[in-house]
Amino acid sequence: MVSRSPSTRNVVKVNTDGSLVGNPGISGFGKLLRDLYGAWLRRFSDSCDITINMKTKLLGMYRGTRLVWETGSKKVIYELDSLMALKLVTKNISP
């Protein structure tokens, strides 16, 4: 089941995910930015050449954050499938 929770005001929600053929392997990622009401603001996908799974997730978060800043917002809610990637970014821990 797929669902989304509503964002709070002045916050952009970023949904991001990566995909690989092998690990390491040929990879890519995509992201979707939504506003308070769930409307699409921007979407983007890119390739990462040959890399590992975690790099695709971190690149998706990084580039998603840059796109959020381009909208003028500095507040981000991330929805992704990697708790480790989230911890690497928010807790500044080493993998």
67 within some domain: yes
CA-based nearest residue to 64, from 86, 35, 31, 39? 31
Rounded CA separation 32/43 (Å):
4
Average pLDDT, the chain: 83
pLDDT at 91: 81
Range of the domain at 38: 11-85
94 within some domain: no
3 within some domain: no
Chain segment 16-75, per-residue pLDDT in tens? 888 888 888 999 888 889 987 888 888 888 888 888 888 888 888 888 888 888 888 888
62 within some domain: yes
pLDDT of 92 strictly over 80 = no
> Residue 43 maps to which CATH number?
3.30.420.10
6 within some domain: no
Q: How much is the pTM? A: 0.75
Helices (H) and strands (E) in the chain — how many of each?
2, 4
Chain segment 2-16, per-residue pLDDT in tens? 555 554 567 888 888
Number of domains in the chain: 1
What is the side-by-side strand order in the sheet with 75-79?
Answer: 40-51, 25-34, 11-22, 75-79
